[in-house]
Amino acid sequence: MLDREWLDRPYVSRISAASAAALRPLRNSYNAHLAFEEQIKPFNFLLCVHVAPFSHPDGYPPERFQLVAPFERDPRRWLEMEWTDHYSGQSFRIHTDGSPSPNSIKVKTNRNVLDRYRTHPEPKSLGAGCKPCDRQTAGLLQRRPVTVTEIVYIGKESNRLEDATAGLVHELGDILNAYNDPRLDPWRTLVIPVLKAFSTAEIAARADLDRRTIERFLSGRSYPRRMNRNKLVAIAAELAAGVLATEPPRPPLAVLREYRDSASAMVRVCTICGAELHNARAIYCSSACKKRAYRNRRAPK
């Protein structure tokens, strides 16, 4: 491993104060006591550091905490400067060695970033056993299949691009606007079509709801509340997974999409004898199989 002085210095990113939001935290701290010509102005450069794992101060959520400071060329001064939280405007000192402290924030060093880069995960690939690639994955990787579960219209992806690249923005919702189209609601495009392929009575029993209520949901005459909707999505995914025999567990909407697009969803069989079912909502091919299933459920375990 390289042993250079710069490796143990704070890992610092340079950003441009290209928006009022970038200058806002410095308004009452750094800029407050300086003459105008010495203040940080729009499109000046700033520095930001990145907090080490488990080193965020109490009362500051990690997704809304980012330290910035005026641009400084001399790296020897970085540990002596005061750094300002981009969200709250509070000032903090930083350090790189030892444990986190209430009076100082431990930040990542260049060595920390380099060490983690050697084992960075590759979310677009699969490792052994068709499991998503993580930091412990080794060996030949393969492509990871992608299943479209829903379509959402979004605004410009380049909003505050420089801030996002520098790590100044932690939540995608801060820079990305989403516009939902009711016609593309997964409840209508995925959940209802899958539930219609199964017995209404069975769905009502699993959801602990009245059968007529289920019929109103499936016909589109009423829209379920969030609790019932989440329950029915889980039931639909469970029923679809039983037909597809999918393993390991996958997100419910991905299972529903696969079920709807799969040819196996067009050919359903009796859960007792395996005979092909011609009724879209039937789960047994005959009354004899239905009685047998009833006896199986009533039999002591």
Torsion sign across C-alpha atoms 138, 143, 145, 150: positive
Asked if 119 and 17 count as a contact pair (C-beta separation under 8 A), the reply is no
Give the start-to-end residue ranges of the domains of the chain: 5-117, 119-146, 185-266, 270-301
Q: What is the mean pLDDT of the chain?
A: 80
Among 7-16, 31-40, 47-56, 140-149, the minimum mean pLDDT is found in 31-40
Instruction: With CA atoms as reference, report the closest residue to 148 among 255, 259, 254.
Output: 254
- Say what the pLDDT of residue 94 is: 93
Written as one string, the DSSP assignment of 96-139 is: SSSS-BTTEEEB-BHHHHHHHHTT---TTEE-GGGPBP-TT--S
On the CB side of 150, CA atoms within 13 Å amount to 20
- Say what the pLDDT of residue 60 is: 86
pLDDT of 184 above 70: yes
CB atoms within 10 A of CB 157: 10
Which H or E element spans position 166?
A: helix 161-166
- Say what the pLDDT of residue 163 is: 63
pLDDT of 300 above 60: yes
CA distance 52 to 45: 23
Which residue type sits at 24?
R
CA distance 162 to 9: 23
Residue with tokens 């016609």: 183
**Opening angle at CA 133, ends 132 and 136, nearest 5:** 130
| Average pLDDT, integer, range 27-54 | 78
Per-residue pLDDT band at 1 (split at 50, 70, 90): very low
Q: What is the pLDDT of residues 80-119, one digit of tens each?
A: 988 988 888 788 999 998 887 778 899 999 999 888 888 8
C-alpha 61: how far from its chain's center?
Answer: 17
CA distance 242 to 252: 12
Whole-Å CA distances, 171 to 37, 47, 61, 67, 288: 34, 20, 12, 15, 56
Q: Are strands 104-106 and 91-95 parallel, antiparallel or unpaired?
A: parallel
β strands within 8-80, DSSP E: 12-16, 45-49, 67-70
More confident residue, 188 or 176: 188
Among 19-28, 177-186, 194-203, 252-261, the minimum mean pLDDT is found in 19-28
Asked if 181 and 153 count as a contact pair (C-beta separation under 8 A), the reply is yes
β strands within the chain, DSSP E: 12-16, 45-49, 67-70, 83-85, 91-95, 104-106, 125-126, 142-143, 153-154, 178-179, 268-269, 276-277
CA distance 194 to 171: 33
